[in-house]
Amino acid sequence: MPARARAVFLFLSLCLATSEAAWREPTRAPHAMVASTERIASQIGVDVMKRGGNAVDSAVAVAFALAVVYPAAGNLGGGGFMLIRQDDGRATAIDYRETAPRAATREMFVGPDGELLKGEDSSVLGYRATGVPGTVAGMALALKKYGSGKLTWEELIEPARKLAVDGFVVTHRTERMLADQKEILLPFADSRRIFLREGKLYREGERLRQPELAATLGRLQKKGAREFYEGETARLIVEDMRQHRGLITPEDLREYTPKERVPLRGNYRGYEIISMPPPSAGGTILLEMLNILEGFDLKKLEPFSSDYYHLLVETMRRAYADRAEYMGDADFVSVPIAGLLDKAYAERQRTTIKLDRASRSSEIGGGKPAGYESTQTTHFTIVDAAGNAVSNTYTLNGWFGAGVVAKGTGVLLNNEMDDFTSKPGAPNLYGAIQSERNAIAPGKRPLSSMTPTFVLRPDGSLYFAIGTPGGTTITNTVLQVITNAIDHGMNLQAAIDAPHIHHQWQPDEIQDEPLGLSPETRRALEARGHRFAPNPRNMSDLQGVMIEEKTNVRLGGSDSRQDGAAVGY
């Protein structure tokens, strides 16, 4: 083992000695791999590929399965982003992000006193917080254009429908999530009945069945994806909206359309990076940060040293200031993507970083790029036997979204309206401050941090695919996996399990993880003027697949912080 790899392993074993899983090797498989936050969903995805399906077929089956077995974030009533890379190297991005309803207005969450509304009138709870869902339409578009053609829509939904009928065994994590989030679900009758059993909370080992969701999945199987937007499911959603002052109308559902977009591309030390364009801020900010860091010789720094983390924080601070200032839905506002990704701009940003002391966020605003052009989410990554790859992040936004199950459907609805700028200068659910560019407008898609990403080797072959939930921490977490792998030579599992930090410009503080930074590293950063958030917390549920260079073996990595699994064959 090389000296640097030994040092990395030693540090991980010292700082992450909470379980043997923290430094396990990646899962190995000769043909194909699925990494997701639930083993049962990963296995379903593998079974699809064993039957002749490709990575996109598998992704559709996994997405529907997670809607059943991971109700906190897996969904039919939310939206997200799918990045696809075909075995011939072509890549595309499918944006199935939610949209604001027609009746949405710029200040709909601001009261007469000028303050943000609370409770069921707020942007985070109840029917008015819900954007028009995109997941079902997004999966249908992906399958139609990029599926293998060997498995039907009906066949790919069947494992999820069967799980909803038969139920799944509640894990300790699911028990804990339902207990922790019960206040979100309690106000809404179907949510309370399905997930809280009218106060008799589910315990680990019990079986959770969802017959209404099974019926919805059955309708989708028989009548296709448009049933969700124009059929009985749509009627039930709209009727429930009408009963509870929600905004979504038949026209909103009927007119929802996912969009295929051109992925963003950049390079870092000879490796090509492919990631999401707006309305996700993730790809733009990721590439901007990599451009800044490229000017520093990170290989000379110890991977968990104060010098390394200082450069990360200062880079994050500047990029997230740009995120707050410039990012929004590029279909509605001008976003200076080319300027933000310009290497010369990164050089100007880099020169403002002092190596011996922290900057103050109050002194740093958005930079001046030239020209113009959630934590509570879930991600899965798939690579098939031919080399097709999918990196997919989708969400309800907060855990269990708006808390609402649309009556008679079993479908949890998102609270994605909170990802708009409800009031400029006021932080959202994740503490993010955003600009007028992300203001609410009918049909507009809210800004996101989701960062599904592919990293290619210098020869153009797929190195790995990666993504994570985590709200505004997503982009920074993906950034650290990339630098861990490229700069520090970590294997995929070690790169995922290594300690993460997060800084998002405002609030001006470093978020770290329990048992993450060593006391010496923390003190050294504080000596330079950095401040830490008062409560460390885990920030990721990374799911990745790497292709081993010489053997072509698939290497799966699933975050040891959570209960997910990489499954291959």
Closest to 140 (Cα-Cα) out of 241, 226, 77, 239:
226
Task: Quote the tokens at residue 507.
Answer: 């609030």
C-beta separation of 418 from 123 below 8 A: yes
Helix (H, G, I), strand (E, B) or coil at 267: strand
**From the CB of residue 88, how many other CB atoms can be counted at a distance below 10 Å?**
8
- Positions annotated as catalytic residues are 377
SS3 of the chain: helix, strand, coil, percent, to 5: 40, 15, 45
Helix (H, G, I), strand (E, B) or coil at 195: helix
Backbone angles phi, psi at 500, to 5 degrees: -115, 150
* 191-197 long-range Cβ contacts below 8 angstroms, 24+ apart: 191/400, 191/403, 191/404, 191/405, 191/412, 194/405, 194/410, 195/71, 195/400, 195/405
- Tell me how far CA of residue 174 lies from CA of 69, 72, 205, 399, in angstroms: 9, 8, 10, 11
**From the CB of residue 380, how many other CB atoms can be counted at a distance below 10 Å?**
31
C-beta separation of 68 from 210 below 8 A: yes
